[in-house]
Each structure stands twice: as C-alpha cells, then as structure tokens.
Amino acid sequence: HHVRVVEGDVLEFLPRIPAGSLATVRLYFPDPWLKQKQKHRRLARADVIAGLVDRLRIGGTLHIATDIDDYAAQALAVCAAEPRLRGGVVPRPDWRPVTRFEQRGLNAGRIATDMIYERIV
C-alpha cells in the first residue's frame, strides 16, 4: 500500500489526484461551519462529494464522521443523492481513532455519527 499525507486544503489538492486512484477517503470531524451564512463552505456538499467519489476506485470507501447532527444530516442527504455510492450510518468502528475534535465533542456531551459508503459504479 502507498500512503501519502498532504497538509493543506483538500479542495486545492483534489485536481491533482487521478480519477479512480483512491481506495479510501476519510473525512473525520470536518469543520462544521455552524453559522447559516458559512454552511456553503462545508465539505459535505454535492460538488465536493462528487469530486471525491470521482477519485475513488470502484469498491473504494468514503468514511465521514461528525458530532454535529446538522452536519450528519447534510452528509447523509448529499451521499444518498450520489448514485455511485451505497451505504449510510454505521456503528463507530473500533479502529477509527478518537481525534482531538471528537474528544472535544465527547467532553461537551456530543456523540459522533459515522457514515461509510462504497463506490459501486
């Protein structure tokens, strides 16, 4: 397996990733952009999800985790509308690390929602 880590804005880096080249994309606790006027900046929107799915190989997975209920609802709706994906909410995988953002949410009494999708076509 080949792993590369890039620190930066995924939207700026996405065009450099070849179509069908990724086995997995993980969006763990992306910035929720809570204010109504900021919600267009969220990563769980149709254009970004379509771009990520373009880069997934068939059989590849998209894993999203968030502790913001409104964000989870948006991600579920966007992924349900993407015909190349199949999946939805799953129990929290034991192998997923607890990020510092998740820990902050747990400390505030929030529970994470995990969603895993497979690219089927």
Where in the sequence numbering do the catalytic residues fall? 31
Q: Among residues 112, 120, 107, 121, which one has the least CA distance to residue 27?
A: 112
Q: How far is it, in rounded angstroms, from Cα 83 to Cα 89?
A: 17
Q: What are phi and psi of 2, to 5 degrees?
A: -110, 135
Q: Which amino acid is at 84?
A: R
